[in-house]
Amino acid sequence: MKKSEIHSDDLYPHPSNSDLDVFDLKENSTIIVSTSYHKEITGSMAFSFIKNSLETLKDIGFIEIPGAFELPLTIKLIIEKYKPKQVLALGCIIKGDTKHDEYLASTVINGLRNLSLEYKIPIINGVLTTDNLQQAIDRAGKKYDKGRNFANASLAMHDIVRKIK
Protein backbone atom coordinates (compact mmCIF):
# COMPACT_ATOMS: atom_id res chain seq x y z
CA MET A 1 0.00 0.00 0.00
CA LYS A 2 1.53 3.30 -1.10
CA LYS A 3 1.71 5.93 1.60
CA SER A 4 0.96 9.48 0.58
CA GLU A 5 3.26 12.40 1.21
CA ILE A 6 1.25 15.57 0.83
CA HIS A 7 2.72 18.93 1.76
CA SER A 8 0.21 21.75 1.91
CA ASP A 9 -0.13 24.87 4.03
CA ASP A 10 -3.88 24.43 3.58
CA LEU A 11 -3.92 21.42 5.93
CA TYR A 12 -3.77 21.32 9.71
CA PRO A 13 -0.87 19.41 11.28
CA HIS A 14 -1.23 15.75 12.18
CA PRO A 15 -2.12 15.42 15.90
CA SER A 16 1.23 13.74 16.59
CA ASN A 17 3.03 16.78 15.13
CA SER A 18 1.10 19.38 17.12
CA ASP A 19 0.81 20.68 20.65
CA LEU A 20 -2.53 18.87 21.09
CA ASP A 21 -2.39 15.94 23.46
CA VAL A 22 -3.33 12.69 21.79
CA PHE A 23 -5.11 10.73 24.44
CA ASP A 24 -4.97 7.02 25.16
CA LEU A 25 -7.84 4.70 24.37
CA LYS A 26 -10.00 4.12 27.43
CA GLU A 27 -13.59 3.52 28.41
CA ASN A 28 -16.22 6.27 28.18
CA SER A 29 -14.39 8.36 25.65
CA THR A 30 -14.77 9.48 22.09
CA ILE A 31 -12.34 7.49 19.97
CA ILE A 32 -10.94 8.64 16.64
CA VAL A 33 -9.99 5.81 14.29
CA SER A 34 -7.92 7.34 11.51
CA THR A 35 -6.26 5.79 8.48
CA SER A 36 -2.56 6.22 7.79
CA TYR A 37 -3.26 6.01 4.06
CA HIS A 38 -3.45 9.68 3.05
CA LYS A 39 -2.23 10.43 6.59
CA GLU A 40 -1.86 14.14 5.96
CA ILE A 41 -5.54 14.37 4.95
CA THR A 42 -6.92 12.29 7.83
CA GLY A 43 -4.51 13.85 10.32
CA SER A 44 -5.70 17.33 9.36
CA MET A 45 -9.31 16.33 10.04
CA ALA A 46 -8.33 14.67 13.34
CA PHE A 47 -6.47 17.80 14.46
CA SER A 48 -9.44 20.04 13.67
CA PHE A 49 -11.88 17.63 15.35
CA ILE A 50 -9.80 17.51 18.53
CA LYS A 51 -9.23 21.28 18.56
CA ASN A 52 -12.96 21.94 18.16
CA SER A 53 -14.08 19.30 20.68
CA LEU A 54 -11.72 19.64 23.63
CA GLU A 55 -13.87 22.03 25.65
CA THR A 56 -16.81 19.63 25.60
CA LEU A 57 -15.30 16.17 25.11
CA LYS A 58 -12.65 15.63 27.76
CA ASP A 59 -11.65 12.07 26.85
CA ILE A 60 -10.60 11.68 23.24
CA GLY A 61 -8.69 8.61 22.15
CA PHE A 62 -6.78 8.33 18.88
CA ILE A 63 -5.59 5.30 16.93
CA GLU A 64 -4.21 4.98 13.42
CA ILE A 65 -4.83 2.00 11.16
CA PRO A 66 -3.61 1.18 7.62
CA GLY A 67 -6.58 2.01 5.39
CA ALA A 68 -10.30 2.63 5.03
CA PHE A 69 -11.18 -1.04 4.50
CA GLU A 70 -9.90 -1.78 8.00
CA LEU A 71 -12.16 0.82 9.67
CA PRO A 72 -15.24 -1.37 10.37
CA LEU A 73 -13.29 -4.27 11.93
CA THR A 74 -11.09 -1.99 14.03
CA ILE A 75 -14.09 0.00 15.23
CA LYS A 76 -15.97 -3.19 16.12
CA LEU A 77 -13.01 -4.38 18.22
CA ILE A 78 -12.70 -0.95 19.89
CA ILE A 79 -16.42 -0.82 20.71
CA GLU A 80 -16.33 -4.29 22.23
CA LYS A 81 -13.23 -3.59 24.32
CA TYR A 82 -13.54 0.09 25.31
CA LYS A 83 -17.29 0.77 25.00
CA PRO A 84 -16.81 4.39 23.86
CA LYS A 85 -19.63 6.91 23.84
CA GLN A 86 -18.97 7.55 20.17
CA VAL A 87 -16.44 6.96 17.40
CA LEU A 88 -15.12 9.17 14.62
CA ALA A 89 -14.03 7.16 11.57
CA LEU A 90 -11.55 9.08 9.41
CA GLY A 91 -10.42 7.99 5.96
CA CYS A 92 -9.84 9.33 2.49
CA ILE A 93 -10.80 7.52 -0.70
CA ILE A 94 -9.74 9.29 -3.89
CA LYS A 95 -11.13 8.23 -7.26
CA GLY A 96 -8.69 6.44 -9.50
CA ASP A 97 -8.82 4.95 -12.98
CA THR A 98 -11.11 2.05 -11.96
CA LYS A 99 -14.27 1.67 -9.87
CA HIS A 100 -12.29 0.46 -6.86
CA ASP A 101 -13.09 3.68 -4.97
CA GLU A 102 -16.84 3.11 -5.38
CA TYR A 103 -16.70 -0.45 -4.07
CA LEU A 104 -14.42 0.50 -1.20
CA ALA A 105 -16.47 3.54 -0.14
CA SER A 106 -19.75 1.63 -0.28
CA THR A 107 -18.36 -1.27 1.73
CA VAL A 108 -16.80 0.92 4.40
CA ILE A 109 -19.76 3.27 4.81
CA ASN A 110 -22.24 0.39 5.00
CA GLY A 111 -19.99 -1.30 7.57
CA LEU A 112 -19.91 1.85 9.70
CA ARG A 113 -23.69 2.23 9.53
CA ASN A 114 -24.20 -1.41 10.51
CA LEU A 115 -21.89 -1.05 13.53
CA SER A 116 -23.64 2.11 14.68
CA LEU A 117 -27.01 0.35 14.56
CA GLU A 118 -25.71 -2.89 16.08
CA TYR A 119 -24.01 -1.21 19.06
CA LYS A 120 -26.38 1.76 19.32
CA ILE A 121 -23.63 4.37 19.45
CA PRO A 122 -22.91 7.23 17.07
CA ILE A 123 -20.19 6.55 14.56
CA ILE A 124 -19.42 9.80 12.79
CA ASN A 125 -18.62 9.09 9.15
CA GLY A 126 -15.46 11.05 8.41
CA VAL A 127 -14.52 9.09 5.32
CA LEU A 128 -13.91 11.55 2.49
CA THR A 129 -14.68 10.37 -1.04
CA THR A 130 -13.25 12.75 -3.60
CA ASP A 131 -12.46 12.89 -7.30
CA ASN A 132 -8.91 14.15 -6.78
CA LEU A 133 -6.28 15.07 -4.23
CA GLN A 134 -7.03 18.81 -4.32
CA GLN A 135 -10.67 18.17 -3.35
CA ALA A 136 -9.42 16.08 -0.42
CA ILE A 137 -7.04 18.85 0.71
CA ASP A 138 -9.81 21.45 0.45
CA ARG A 139 -12.26 19.36 2.48
CA ALA A 140 -9.80 18.15 5.09
CA GLY A 141 -8.01 21.45 5.50
CA LYS A 142 -8.71 25.05 6.29
CA LYS A 143 -10.93 25.78 3.28
CA TYR A 144 -13.94 23.58 4.19
CA ASP A 145 -12.68 22.24 7.56
CA LYS A 146 -14.56 18.93 7.68
CA GLY A 147 -12.91 18.17 11.04
CA ARG A 148 -14.87 21.07 12.54
CA ASN A 149 -18.05 19.77 10.88
CA PHE A 150 -17.42 16.30 12.34
CA ALA A 151 -16.86 17.87 15.78
CA ASN A 152 -20.19 19.71 15.51
CA ALA A 153 -21.97 16.50 14.45
CA SER A 154 -20.30 14.62 17.28
CA LEU A 155 -21.34 17.15 19.90
CA ALA A 156 -24.91 17.22 18.54
CA MET A 157 -25.14 13.42 18.60
CA HIS A 158 -23.67 13.31 22.11
CA ASP A 159 -26.47 15.61 23.31
CA ILE A 160 -29.18 13.75 21.38
CA VAL A 161 -28.15 10.34 22.74
CA ARG A 162 -27.88 11.74 26.29
CA LYS A 163 -31.40 13.20 26.05
CA ILE A 164 -32.92 9.99 24.67
CA LYS A 165 -31.27 7.72 27.23
**Looking at the annotation, which residues are catalytic?**
100
Euclidean distance between CA atoms 112 and 31, whole angstroms:
14
Euclidean distance between CA atoms 31 and 154, whole angstroms:
11
Euclidean distance between CA atoms 81 and 110, whole angstroms:
22
Helix (H), strand (E) counts: the chain: 5, 4
CA dihedral 72, 77, 79, 81 (to 10 degrees): -170
Question: What are the C-alpha distances in Å from 32 to residues 95, 98, 134, 135?
Answer: 24, 29, 24, 22
CB 12 within 8 A of CB 112: no
